[in-house]
């Protein structure tokens, strides 16, 4: 392994001069500094990152927790924006796993890897492992879930449903059904927003119009839609849990001779690119992944760099309705 001493001997300077040159702190001439840096590169020198971490207590490495499968376009978009924000701020991203534990000792993983902070994108937010990490001294930002006293960034799930219902109401719909995703903070907030706006508009919501489904599951979604269409007073519009489920349902219904929006109107959620590349274009609500990522890093960097003065915040990000052709 090449040492600073070896480079100093070749360059005919002191070890201190080499160290300052490699760290951009030297008062030497540009030519001398460039010569030292090039010599170090030619000799195959790499800085001892472990020693640097011990000296600065900072690794410029952020952990990511994502427990779902990597096949969801919304999360792909969010990860891309998080990657760009990390690069802009001089950080690397590292996925951290459960480590064979059903609960997932994420706190120990983050501590052992000397991570500067952690972003929890998707997980079982009620698990002891996630709660332990979120409430620890390690700077942590939670996406789309809220803990008291913890940095959280969420989409405005209540107002998004209000926007959607107002839109379909304006198009003449009064019998509106809602298929939820899995139980959790996101589904609870969307359902609350749905009931609130329906009450304000005087829309009656029969018990059978609200279904407990799953995110990212087209077969599940179409099963519920088929059931809704069998009702005596069938809905004229169905709000689906996400775009992927909605698109799958649209194709499966078309194969059965059920046309959208002629026979039933559908609304998705997420605003994935594919939703606007098919016919009919999907009416959906687009989440602002760019701003979500920006807010996540704003909170995280403030917590990392100013731990004594940082006050945890809960930030809500508003998206926008895309008026497609399925309503």
> How far apart, in Å, do the first and last CA atoms of the chain sit?
66
Confidence band (pLDDT; 50, 70, 90) for 53? very low
Q: What is the sign, positive or negative, of the torsion defined by CA atoms of 290, 123, 137, 53?
A: negative
Looking at the predicted structure, is the pLDDT value of residue 37 above 70?
yes
Predicted local distance difference test score (pLDDT) of residue 228? 94
CA dihedral 287, 290, 293, 296 (to 10 degrees): -80
Please list the helix, strand and coil fractions of the chain in percent, rounded to the nearest 5, in that order.
Answer: 45, 15, 40
Confidence band (pLDDT; 50, 70, 90) for 103? low
Among the listed residues 149, 154, 185, 140, the one whose alpha carbon sits nearest the alpha carbon of residue 313:
149
Mean pLDDT of 24-34: 72
CATH of domain 56-155+290-318: 3.40.50.2300
Whether 182 and 215 have beta carbons less than 8 Å apart is answered as yes
Q: Check if 56-155+290-318 and 157-286 are the same fold.
A: yes
Query: Does this model's pTM top 0.85?
Result: no
Beta bridge partners of residue 266, listed in sequence order = 238
Predicted local distance difference test score (pLDDT) of residue 42? 87
Predicted local distance difference test score (pLDDT) of residue 25? 62
Looking at the predicted structure, is the pLDDT value of residue 238 above 90?
yes
DSSP for residue 122: E
**Number of Cβ atoms within 10 Å of the Cβ of 232:** 4
Mean pLDDT of the chain: 89
DSSP-derived 3-state class of residue 237? strand
Whether 118 and 65 have beta carbons less than 8 Å apart is answered as yes
Q: Are strands 320-322 and 151-155 parallel, antiparallel or unpaired?
A: unpaired
Identify the residue with better confidence: 202 or 27. 202
Confidence band (pLDDT; 50, 70, 90) for 3? confident
Looking at the predicted structure, is the pLDDT value of residue 48 above 90?
no
Domain ranges in the chain are: 4-47, 56-155+290-318, 157-286
Give dist(CA 42, CA 143) in Å, integer. 44
Give dist(CA 81, CA 59) in Å, integer. 21
DSSP for residue 274: G
Whether 181 and 213 have beta carbons less than 8 Å apart is answered as yes
Q: What topology does CATH give the domain 157-286?
A: Rossmann fold (3.40.50)
Confidence band (pLDDT; 50, 70, 90) for 317? very high
Looking at the predicted structure, is the pLDDT value of residue 101 above 70?
no
């Amino acid at each position: 392994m090449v040492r600073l001493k070896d480079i100093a001997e070749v360059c005919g300077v002191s070890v201190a001069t080499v160290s300052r040159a490699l760290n951009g702190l030297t008062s030497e001439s540009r030519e001398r500094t460039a010569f030292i840096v090039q010599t170090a590169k030619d000799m195959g020198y790499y800085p001892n990152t472990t020693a640097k971490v011990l000296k600065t207590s900072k690794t410029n490495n952020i952990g990511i927790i994502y427990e779902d499968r990597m096949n969801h376009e919304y999360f792909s978009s969010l990860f891309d924006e998080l990657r760009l924000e990390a690069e802009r701020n001089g950080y690397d991203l590292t996925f951290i796993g459960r480590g064979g534990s059903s609960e997932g000792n994420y706190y120990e993983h983050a501590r052992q890897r000397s991570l500067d902070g952690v972003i929890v994108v998707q997980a079982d937010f009620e698990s002891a492992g996630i709660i332990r990490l979120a409430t620890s001294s390690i700077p942590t930002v939670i996406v789309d879930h809220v803990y008291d006293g913890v940095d959280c960034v969420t989409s405005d799930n209540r107002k998004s449903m209000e926007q959607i219902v107002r839109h379909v109401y304006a198009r003449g719909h009064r019998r509106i059904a809602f298929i939820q995703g899995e139980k959790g903070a996101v589904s609870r907030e969307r359902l609350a927003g749905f009931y609130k706006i329906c009450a304000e508009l005087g829309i009656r919501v029969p018990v059978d119009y609200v279904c407990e489904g799953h995110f990212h599951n087209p077969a599940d979604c179409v099963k519920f839609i088929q059931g809704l269409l069998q009702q005596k007073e069938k809905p004229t519009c169905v709000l689906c849990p996400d775009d992927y489920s909605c698109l799958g349902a649209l194709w499966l219904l078309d194969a059965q001779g059920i046309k959208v929006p002629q026979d039933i109107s559908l609304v998705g959620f997420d605003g994935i690119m594919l939703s606007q590349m098919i016919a009919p274009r999907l009416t959906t609500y687009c989440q602002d992944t760019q701003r979500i990522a920006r807010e996540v890093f704003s909170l995280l960097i403030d917590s990392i760099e100013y731990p004594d003065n940082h006050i945890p915040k809960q930030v809500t990000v508003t998206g926008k309705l895309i008026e497609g052709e399925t309503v």
